[in-house]
Structure 1
């Protein structure tokens, strides 16, 4: 009895591999479109991981760029009419890949945003007419893109219905702008009754009067906390003469760095203390539950405080109401100029006062580039006594000149939390995040450290920007 063997042969013809790469490239366009859409069915199911989906979108785009090598086989047929649309799509995709590089994307994000939209449409359109055989891979991309825009429009109407004449309260979403420093704008608006968010989440702000396009959205981290405390409870921890701290519990607050493009135009409006129309889209971002930790360490650099401040307020209110079992929270904030403290210093002081006796709150503020003469510009409930070294503002709140020794702080807190659980949340520059990662390495928070009785540590890292 004999068995027949079938040998699988792989063609050596380069055209076979070229066509296979092109087919694989076309088949991935619907996936890359879904991953890049903010309101796609996938992002609805995992809306808290929206940023992670965006990272996968970028990684897939790089893979597709490599698959574009299949066009090299057709260079000798460059004059054929049927290949013109293919070359147009390939050229647009190559330019898009160059603009996509982080140095360009980070320096001129608005330029990247508009160029990305135009080149993506050219790529899809050119690819569709280039390969009619596999057009069923391309036309769903336009459907997904259109569905994303329809869902986004519905969300805008739902979250901003008062602007569209549905219900009462027309105009209540107007926002006030303040130029806190030449490089920082604070945007404050009343929280809509249906809008709720978790600490660390962000929202897209659509400001037709400031943006280049009417419905251009810009993401900013929500610097305030969605509090459940009543106004009387909040007032007990704030100065009666100051309305600013209260807004961080009951309103939506955003701190925006003034650079180029949109933020520069926003700075001009804030200099006039103008009121702007704002449409809200969100919230987005992951919800971080810190209820199970014995201690929490919050580290921020500059405007990274917009991420850590709401977490601080959440921990204080959670322990105050009995929803949290945390016994210790350490808040570390580094700025270049002591004048920057006035952004939220009153709020931090209020949080310290609102903290119950069962919760130890330590605040460490560091000034890295400020001169001694700037200390008198910091407004606190107790005057700073010394321009150099360490000055105590209130119980548990200290200000120091120079850069923080994050490794010493983290090692000390790890030892303090020995036998328990600790969460470290950081938002700042790459150097700050890198220092925290290195410190909480194998020597401090490795697998064997728990066996030695050390604390179980969870690290949360939030990056600056969205480019």
Structure 2
């Protein structure tokens, strides 16, 4: 091993110069000095590692292409049924046998990769696909970092780990951006790529400490003394990265989200700055400066979105029309409603980041929320009139106000609606404002995400819990709208929503009324609302109650809900194709009903607690390739998680 006197700062790129002074690559020299094999490897191995990353991204892109092919096949199958009576599609016998082998193979892959999980405690888990990608990344990372570092019987990996660590920065930053280049080419939303962002950052921390520990062991003196600027920058970067990875773990992020946002920004800024100043001193700055470009690109795109969709605030009058109406629609739930220009478009299930200076602790603090309404035209005029009649019967309180998702044609602007559950911090302050009523200045940044495209599935299942209905409601409204224009879009929809109290139906009441009244006759819809708070229930049996039953139409008080709220009862009576149930739904029963009755592929969409998604995956694991070979449907699963 080299002596302390020879362990200079150049060791980051040349390894141990004293032991490798005689190792030359065919006499190649740089500046009159021989270039060691270690220096060559430290330069080429980071590039080879990036080739490995690019190959992995290419494989994921091939998976996305396969998804497009599957969508094309579903569309062809639906179009083939167009010559038949759509209402009688349920009588078509399902094929079975070896012709379904490709479909069975796809479902086998889904079961293994995405529905089998590795649990880390009771509330967190990753699927096997995430686990495999994590292990593959870590294996490649540490293989390229530690291979061929043994010199004269001693491992000298200080220079290599530093070079490999610097090469990770563009990847880590790209994975953490909202406007994510990797997400655009793979079709994976930035909120899901955030898992790999955190994983790669923690792997980077290990490499950084490998790198730092080597030079600390050799000795921080001479050119590597702590008084040297490049070492001070290295210490700054190491401390900042350590704090980001160790202090802000999941429980801390949940309990102090506002503090995490600001602290994360500042610590990462000093980490990248320190890393660049240290790496550029060793001719590795080429790996670090692209991170500034990625960060700047993301901020420029964000600024462009904010300007394009919030420019009303620059107009005369201060953009009062852009302000959001804040109202409490149920106990513990807040609804935001505001308008934005007609050129704003979003897909059902997408989210947005909202900035509310009057509510936030920090002026530019933003929070992500799912857009609860669909970007579809207004419903037919007769339905609008009926809704006005129904709304006139309701209470004038905010909890019974309309949740119309689209404008009525009086304005070219589009209305956006967000449903927010009151928790701690930001949402608690927002709830206090909602109690008083009024309007808020709000900056809209979005839309973001890659939600599922549900067209041409035979049967679509929605499972939502509480405010998770924001995700399923927009998909539901959009799907029924498309089915009105093309009956082959979907044959059957099962919409299951679990709420705690009966008055929470007001969160999406008007949307339900629109959809159920304007749905095409050929589309079978079953809406099932489960109420879990036993204090509000008077029914002793588990039998469902439908508002179209004779009992519900003649009884002055709801047979299900003991709450004497005439407005809520009027709402319940107006909803057709809807049944009400005591307690939580049986996920297994709902899914087996959907799969048994399907004549084509099935899409299951879930938004709720982690335990619910876990139960859904458990049921779908039993529906493996053998079931598909026997004629069972191919099942796709889409989960929108509450956590971040």
The answer, yes or no, to whether TM exceeds 0.5 is: yes
Q: Which has the higher strand share?
A: 1
Partners in 1 of 2:380 and 2:496 — Cα distance? 28
Q: Which residue of 1 aligns with 2:364?
A: 215
Deviation, 1:440, is 1.0
Deviation, 1:174, is 1.3
Distance 1:147-1:357 versus aligned 2 partners, 3 A rule: closer
Distance 1:384-1:78 versus aligned 2 partners, 3 A rule: farther
Runs of 4+ residues over 6 Å off in structure 1: 6-9
* 1:293 to 2:473 alignment: no
CA contact (8 A) 2:351 2:446 kept: yes
Q: Which residue of 2 aligns with 1:432?
A: 612
Give the counterpart of 1:36 among 176, 191, 194. Answer: 176
* 1:93 to 2:241 alignment: yes
Give the counterpart of 1:11 among 139, 150, 159. Answer: 150
* 1:25 to 2:160 alignment: no
Give the counterpart of 1:107 among 241, 244, 255. Answer: 255
Q: Which residue of 1 aligns with 2:104?
A: none
* 1:142 to 2:295 alignment: no
Deviation, 1:29, is 1.2
Distance 1:291-1:187 versus aligned 2 partners, 3 A rule: same
CA contact (8 A) 1:237 1:354 kept: no
Q: Which residue of 2 aligns with 1:248?
A: 405
1:220-369 matches, within 5 Å, as: 220-230=369-379, 232=381, 234-235=383-384, 238-242=387-391, 244-245=401-402, 247-250=404-407, 251-322=415-486, 324-369=488-533
Deviation, 1:323, is 6.0
* 1:409 to 2:409 alignment: no
CA contact (8 A) 2:458 2:491 kept: yes
Q: Which residue of 2 aligns with 1:172?
A: 321
Q: Which residue of 2 aligns with 1:385?
A: 559
CA contact (8 A) 1:202 1:285 kept: yes
Distance 1:143-1:424 versus aligned 2 partners, 3 A rule: closer
Partners in 2 of 1:65 and 1:337 — Cα distance? 46
Deviations 1:195-243 (A, max 9, x none): 1111111111122222233332211101111122356154156243529
Distance 1:73-1:119 versus aligned 2 partners, 3 A rule: same
Partners in 2 of 1:169 and 1:231 — Cα distance? 34
Partners in 1 of 2:295 and 2:362 — Cα distance? 18
Deviation, 1:362, is 0.9
Deviation, 1:63, is 1.8
Deviation, 1:431, is 0.9
Deviations 1:5-64 (A, max 9, x none): x99975337673121101111121122222222236555666763323333322211221
CA contact (8 A) 1:320 1:355 kept: yes
Helix, strand or coil for the counterpart of 1:190?
strand
Partners in 2 of 1:122 and 1:254 — Cα distance? 35
Q: Which residue of 1 aligns with 2:73?
A: none
Q: Which residue of 1 aligns with 2:212?
A: 71
Partners in 2 of 1:99 and 1:199 — Cα distance? 35
Q: TM-score, normalised by structure 1?
A: 0.88
Question: Which sits farther off after the overlay, 125-134 or 308-317?
Answer: 125-134
Q: Which residue of 1 aligns with 2:305?
A: 155
Distance 1:386-1:32 versus aligned 2 partners, 3 A rule: closer
* 1:62 to 2:202 alignment: yes
Deviations 1:275-325 (A, max 9, x none): 011221111111422111111110001111001111111222222222653
Partners in 2 of 1:96 and 1:33 — Cα distance? 14
Q: Which residue of 1 aligns with 2:80?
A: none
Partners in 2 of 1:387 and 1:171 — Cα distance? 40
Uncovered stretches (5+) of structure 2, i.e. residues with no partner: 1-25, 27-36, 39-147, 393-400, 408-414, 540-546, 563-568
* 1:458 to 2:636 alignment: yes
Give the counterpart of 1:421 among 576, 598, 601. Answer: 601
Q: How many residues align?
A: 451
Partners in 2 of 1:396 and 1:436 — Cα distance? 24
Helix, strand or coil for the counterpart of 1:462?
strand
Helix, strand or coil for the counterpart of 1:211?
coil
Partners in 2 of 1:433 and 1:209 — Cα distance? 35
Deviation, 1:246, is 5.6
Question: Which sits farther off after the overlay, 405-414 or 206-215?
Answer: 206-215
Helix, strand or coil for the counterpart of 2:320?
coil
CA contact (8 A) 2:538 2:560 kept: no
Deviations 1:160-210 (A, max 9, x none): 1222239x9943321100022442210011242111111111111122222
Q: CA RMSD in A?
A: 2.9
Partners in 1 of 2:498 and 2:358 — Cα distance? 34
CA contact (8 A) 1:339 1:374 kept: no
CA contact (8 A) 2:538 2:559 kept: no
Deviations 1:49-102 (A, max 9, x none): 332333332221122122122212233435722333322221221111013422
Which protein has greater RCO, CA pairs closer than 8 Å, 6+ apart?
Answer: 2
Deviations 1:97-141 (A, max 9, x none): 013422222222222211111111121222233331123323332
Partners in 2 of 1:236 and 1:363 — Cα distance? 23
* 1:116 to 2:264 alignment: yes
Answer with 1 or 2: which has the greater Rg.
Answer: 2
CA contact (8 A) 1:35 1:57 kept: yes
Give the counterpart of 2:627 among 437, 449, 463. Answer: 449
Helix, strand or coil for the counterpart of 2:150?
coil
CA contact (8 A) 1:338 1:370 kept: no
